[in-house]
Amino acid sequence: MNLNNKTLVITGVSSGIGAELARLARFAGATVIGVDRNEPQLTLDGFFKADLGDPASIDALLGQLPSAVHGLCNVAGVPGTAPAELVGRVNYLGLRHLSQGLLGRMPAGSSIVNVASVLGAEWPLRLEQHKALAATEDFAAGQQWLEANAVDPRTCYQYFKEALIVWTFQQSQRWFRDHGVRLNCVAPGPVFTPILGDFVSMLGKSGWPAMPRAWCARRWPMKWRR
């Protein structure tokens, strides 16, 4: 992998997947700018603190980021043990707001990668809800939709990872057509990060090992009703 002369923005850079991704990207030659609430424990080419659940904080961050960005890695997220509203703001609405804000300064050939989860595998069961949320134009409209369509706190993490998968699919063709920017989603399984214990609490000690394996075994065709 050669990332020479490429500038990457990585959220959630201070631990877990984000930190390891930043390390590998810099090793491959990229200029890496990290974003997190906490100070990073590794060397970066730039770092900004931001609250990715607050659109004003994201707008301030956008004002500090470079005029040209070749890659955005949306890794930051909060677990389902957090309040459902916060999970929605950080894991979905804020991620979307940041991506939309950076899109215009990404040259053709750039890429955005969203980190979802195997826990979002049941998106087809709520496809119409996720499409309705994806149709909201901005952070405020999305928040208003969520206030009118309450999400079960017990499964809010799964819900917003499902929503992220659907939004990514819906936008990917349009953004590639209009801007030449690739938009993809990856869905990792259990990873030893500082919030792994939160997932054990969220799913139960007996449920966590089994559920991702069971969901990964399914094959959901991406069919859309126009």
Q: Is 178 left (phi over 0), alpha (psi -120 to 50) or beta?
A: alpha
β-pair partners for 10:
34, 73
Mean pLDDT of the chain: 89
Residue with token string 């990073």: 40
Domain that holds residue 136: 7-216
How many Cβ atoms are within 10 Å of 211's Cβ, its own excluded? 18
Domain assignment present for 1: no
Say what percent of the chain tops pLDDT 90: 81
Domain assignment present for 86: yes
Predicted confidence (pLDDT) at residue 115 exceeds the cutoff of 90: yes
Q: What is the CATH number of the domain that holds 34?
A: 3.40.50.720
What is the tens place of the pLDDT at every residue in 183-226? 999 998 666 566 555 555 666 654 444 444 444 444 444 444 43
What token pair was written down for 106? Answer: 């990404």
β-pair partners for 111:
71, 182
Name which of 5-19, 101-115, 187-201 the model is least confident about. Answer: 187-201
Q: What is the pLDDT of residue 222?
A: 44
Domain assignment present for 2: no
Domain assignment present for 198: yes
Catalytic residues: 157
Domain assignment present for 130: yes
Q: What is the pLDDT of residue 195?
A: 54
Number of structural domains found in the chain: 1
Domain assignment present for 137: yes
Report residue 193 CA to chain centroid gap.
16
DSSP string, 30-58: -EEEEEESS--SS--SEEEE--TT-HHHH
- Residues 43-60 have a mean pLDDT of 97
Domain assignment present for 223: no
Domain assignment present for 81: yes
Predicted confidence (pLDDT) at residue 179 exceeds the cutoff of 70: yes
